[in-house]
Each structure stands twice: as C-alpha cells, then as structure tokens.
Amino acid sequence: MAGLEGAGGAGVGQATIQCPECGTSVPIAMRHLSTTSDTDKLMIVVEPDLTDVWAHHWVHESD
C-alpha cells in the first residue's frame, strides 16, 4: 500500500492497494480527522473511504 499522496494541507490524501486477483490498483481516499502532539509523539488520525475497494470486490464476485 502506498503512503498518503498530495495532501497539500487540505486534509485529504490517497493511498492505493493492488488487487490480488487481477493486479489493478484500487484507490483509497483518506480524510484527515485530527492531529495531536504529546511531548515526543505525534498522532495523526485518518479515515479511509473503502467505497472503490468494495465496488472492485463486487466486480470479481459477479463473474
């Protein structure tokens, strides 16, 4: 899975996952929820949108 790309401060990024059945790269949109900092620790919380992953999965199930 690729890292977050092109967030550009907008709080949105994208990762991709490769389908093990057909090799297609399926995008996963990531939305930034919050960032907190505790002394020497930084926690970034993101929420994935798995709509495209499920849609791609259903394509394989219908075959």
pLDDT in tens, 41-59: 777 788 889 999 999 999 8
**pLDDT one-digit tens code per residue, 11-35:** 678 889 999 999 999 999 888 877 7
Total residue length of the chain:
63
Q: Domain boundaries in the chain?
A: 12-61
Provide DSSP, the chain.
----B--TTTTEEEEEEE-TTT--EEEEEEEEEEEEEETTEEEEEEEEE-HHHHHHHHHHHT-
Residue of 54, 61, 60, 53 whose CA lies nearest to 26: 53
